Structure 1
Amino acid sequence: MEQTTKESLWQKSKLLLKGLLIGALSLLLLIPAYFVRDLIEEREARQKEAIAEVSGRWAGSQQLLAPVLVVPYWETVEYSNGSNESVRRLAYVLPDKLSINGQLKPEQRHRGIYDVMLYSSDLQIDGRFDPLPLQQLQLSAEKVIWNEAYVAMGVTDAKGLRDELQLKWNDSMYTLNPSRFDTGFLKEGFSTPVSIAPGETITFSAQVKLQGSGELLFLPTGKSTDVKLSSVWKEPSFSGATLPDYTLSSAGFTAQWKSMAHTRNFPQAWKNQTYQLQSAAMGVNLFIPVNGYQKTMRSVKYALLCIVLTFAAFFLVETAGKRSVHPLHYGLVGVALILFYTLLLSVSEYAGFDTAYIVAAAATIGLITLFLKSVLQSGRLAAIMAFVLALQYGYIFVVLQLQDSALLVGSIGLFVVLAVIMYFSRRIKW
Structure 2
Amino acid sequence: MKHPLFTKLAALAAITVLLLFGLSMIEDVVRDRQRYRSLTAQSVAESLAGPQTLMGPMIHSACVESWDVETGKGDERRVVEQRREFLLTAMPEQLKLRSGAAMEERARGLHKVNTFNLKAHLTAQWGSLAGLQPQTTQKNSRMHCGAPIIMMAVGDARGIRTAQLTLGEQTLALKPGTFHPTYSRGLHAVLPETVRGQAPGLSVSMDLELVGTERIAIVPLGGNTEVQMTSSWPHPSFGGRFLPSEREVRKDGFSAQWRLSSLATTAQADIEKGSRICIGGYDDSPSDYAPGGATPRDCADSFNVAFVDPVNPYSLSDRATKYGVLFIALTFVAVGLFELMKKLRVHPVQYLLVGSALCSFFLLLVSLSEHLPFGASYAAAASACVLLLAYYASHMLGGLARGIPLGAGIALLYGLLYVLLQLEQTALAVGAIALFLVLAAVMVLTRKVNWYGLSQGTPPQRPTPPPAARPAPATPSSTTSARTEAP
TM category (shorter chain) comes to 0.7 to 0.9
Of the three residues 336, 349, 361, the one matched with 1:340 is 361
Q: 1:124 is matched with which residue?
A: 121
Q: 2:484 is matched with which residue?
A: none
Query: How far 1:169 sits from its partner (Å)?
Result: 3.9
Decide whether the 8 Å contact of 2:64 with 2:85 is kept in 1. yes
Matches within 5 A, 1:388-403: 388-403=409-424
Matches within 5 A, 1:203-282: 203-244=203-244, 245-248=246-249, 252-267=253-268, 273-276=273-276, 278=278, 279-282=300-303
Q: Classify 1:411/1:351 alpha carbon distance in 2 versus 1 (closer, same or farther; 3 Å).
A: same
What is the identity percentage for the equivalent residue pairs of Structure 1 and Structure 2? 28
Q: Classify 1:388/1:176 alpha carbon distance in 2 versus 1 (closer, same or farther; 3 Å).
A: same
Q: Classify 1:407/1:251 alpha carbon distance in 2 versus 1 (closer, same or farther; 3 Å).
A: closer
Post-superposition Cα deviations, 1:88-131, rounded to whole Å, max 9, x if no partner, equal 21132211122222332222234333332222232222212222
Matched, 1:66 2:53: no
Query: How far 1:32 sits from its partner (Å)?
Result: 0.8
Query: How far 1:172 sits from its partner (Å)?
Result: 6.1
Q: Classify 1:118/1:274 alpha carbon distance in 2 versus 1 (closer, same or farther; 3 Å).
A: closer
Decide whether the 8 Å contact of 1:181 with 1:189 is kept in 2. no
Query: How far 1:246 sits from its partner (Å)?
Result: 3.4
Q: Classify 1:269/1:145 alpha carbon distance in 2 versus 1 (closer, same or farther; 3 Å).
A: farther
Q: Aligned partner of 2:413: which letter?
A: Q
Whole-Å separation in 2 of the counterparts to 1:369 and 1:270: 66
> Could you tell which deviates more after superposition, 32-41 or 273-282?
273-282
Matched, 1:49 2:20: no
SS at match of 2:275: coil
Query: How far 1:251 sits from its partner (Å)?
Result: 5.8
Query: How far 1:146 sits from its partner (Å)?
Result: 4.8
Matched, 1:323 2:323: no
How high is the TM-score relative to the length of structure 1?
Answer: 0.84
Whole-Å separation in 2 of the counterparts to 1:398 and 1:55: 34
Post-superposition Cα deviations, 1:287-335, rounded to whole Å, max 9, x if no partner, equal 4331222222122112222112211221221233232222211111111
Decide whether the 8 Å contact of 2:49 with 2:212 is kept in 1. yes
Whole-Å separation in 1 of the counterparts to 2:12 and 2:152: 67
Whole-Å separation in 2 of the counterparts to 1:260 and 1:39: 48
Whole-Å separation in 2 of the counterparts to 1:418 and 1:102: 52
Q: 1:409 is matched with which residue?
A: 430
Q: Aligned partner of 2:399: which letter?
A: S
Q: Which has the higher contact order (CA 8 A, sep 6+)?
A: 1
How high is the TM-score relative to the length of structure 2?
Answer: 0.75
**Unaligned runs of at least 5 residues, structure 2:** 73-79, 279-299, 455-487
Post-superposition Cα deviations, 1:228-269, rounded to whole Å, max 9, x if no partner, equal 333333433333333332345566443332221112124469
Cα RMSD, aligned residues only: 3.2
Structure number with greater Rg is 2
**Unaligned runs of at least 5 residues, structure 1:** 1-9
Q: Which protein has the bigger helix share?
A: 1
Q: Aligned partner of 2:406: which letter?
A: M
Whole-Å separation in 1 of the counterparts to 2:53 and 2:358: 46
Decide whether the 8 Å contact of 1:154 with 1:190 is kept in 2. yes
> Could you tell which deviates more after superposition, 301-310 or 35-44?
301-310
Of the three residues 23, 38, 43, the one matched with 2:28 is 38
Q: Aligned partner of 1:92: which letter?
A: T
Matched, 1:351 2:372: yes
SS at match of 1:280: coil
Q: Aligned partner of 2:348: which letter?
A: P
